[in-house]
Amino acid sequence: MPVTKRDYYEILGVSKNATEDEVKRAYRTLALKHHPDRVSADQKKNAEEKFKEISEAYAVLSDSKKRSVYDQYGHAGFDQRYSTEDIFRGADFSSIFQDLGFGGSIFEELFGLGDFFGGGGGGGRRARRGADVLFELSLSFEEAAKGTTKTVTVPRSELCPECQGQGGDRASCSSCQGTGQIRQSAGFMVIARTCPRCGGQGSSIKKSCSKCRGEGHITTKRQLQVKIPAGVESGMRLRLVGEGDGGVRGRGDLYVQLRVDPHPLFQRDGAHLIVTYPLNIAQVALGTEVEVPTINGRVSLKVPSGIQSGTVLRVRGKGLADVHDGRTGDLLVRIVVETPTNLNATQRQFLEGFQQLFREDAHPTRRSFLDNLKDLLKK
């Protein structure tokens, strides 16, 4: 059963009378929200699908000719006239992405549109921007909570300094005359396919470079200082512009994906820190004051008398910094009553006497439960 496409106007959240500027503004907002490089690893797949959807809608509605065809015929007629590559050709993504701080390589990853922002036209050996590089960095819980600067050594590809990325001495391909494509006529149609001799590059190597052996690039290692902001979580990515692989048309970017080690005491809920604090029955019955750990030391906490196991006490401002807005979360202390084990004879005798001293009204929750149970059994 074919998948029904959503309306392009609905996808961008604009009316059918929206101006070009309104369409562009709507796309900028959605692209910033759903760009796959801004989300955690578990959200990436959904973000990619959403990003593809809004980008296709923008490519059509930002082009007056394509928009006119879409308004007249809808998806059914429009898709018969335009291929995926035709839809995106001519759309102004590069200026938007530069303003937002993203590279254009996402289109090659999601749509298979290689050199989409590279221009180059006419086939042949195109000048490419270097590839983006993904590097995983492990952090301790404290490093992620407080922020730090890490020195990392990243392997990356560089243009060969001897042949400047050409791979050696090159000659124009005799099969495609340097265009990178073989064109064949079939009646009124012209079919273009990638030249099998040169692989679409438009030229071939006559003599390989001795340094890179015809590859056009060499592998090096670069040492970098990566500043980690306070409050990061596992799965987040930091982008270092221009620190990826080298290319004829500039460098790619380096994406540092963070993995935060667990902590023996703390868990986190966004910017809030959670700690489980065990107390004995006397402490919770009488009330007490304890010292609880935070990421920056200890704080005193008053535990009221009669507190029940599982109750959460809040210490405001003792959590983590929110990596997005810098606000500090809270420390959430979950009280757990620990039942004593391995009792000796004296302790057991004491607890038996303790049990006899207390009437049912000292345990209102238990009394309520028993009353409800009696009513249930009467039915």
CATH of the domain at 228: 2.60.260.20
- Ordered DSSP codes for 245-271: ---TT----EEEEEEEPP-SSEEEETT
Do 275 and 226 reside in the same domain of the chain?
A: no
**pLDDT per residue as tens digits for the range 309-335:** 999 999 999 999 998 888 999 999 999
Do 54 and 87 reside in the same domain of the chain?
A: yes
Do 38 and 105 reside in the same domain of the chain?
A: yes
Q: Look up residue 154 and give its DSSP letter.
A: E
Percent over 90 (pLDDT), the chain: 36
Do 136 and 249 reside in the same domain of the chain?
A: yes
CB 137 within 8 A of CB 259: yes
**pLDDT per residue as tens digits for the range 193-250:** 778 777 777 777 778 888 888 787 888 999 999 999 999 999 898 988 889 888 877 7
d(CA 95, CA 90): 12
172 in a domain, yes or no? no
Band of the pLDDT at 185, cuts 50, 70, 90? Answer: low
Do 253 and 151 reside in the same domain of the chain?
A: yes
Do 71 and 46 reside in the same domain of the chain?
A: yes
Do 32 and 150 reside in the same domain of the chain?
A: no
Do 250 and 354 reside in the same domain of the chain?
A: no
CATH of the domain at 84: 1.10.287.110
Instruction: Show the domain range for 352.
Output: 348-379
Residue 39 has pLDDT above 90, yes or no: no
| Highest mean pLDDT pick, 127-141, 328-342, 349-363 | 328-342
pLDDT at 358: 73
pLDDT at 267: 95
Do 252 and 287 reside in the same domain of the chain?
A: no
Residue 58 has pLDDT above 60, yes or no: yes
* Alpha carbon distance, N-terminus to C-terminus of the chain: 53
d(CA 70, CA 51): 20
Do 150 and 230 reside in the same domain of the chain?
A: yes
Do 45 and 107 reside in the same domain of the chain?
A: yes
Band of the pLDDT at 104, cuts 50, 70, 90? Answer: low
What's the domain count of the chain?
4
204 in a domain, yes or no? no
Residue 87 has pLDDT above 70, yes or no: yes
> What does pTM read for this prediction?
0.55
Do 283 and 303 reside in the same domain of the chain?
A: yes
Band of the pLDDT at 186, cuts 50, 70, 90? Answer: low
288 in a domain, yes or no? yes
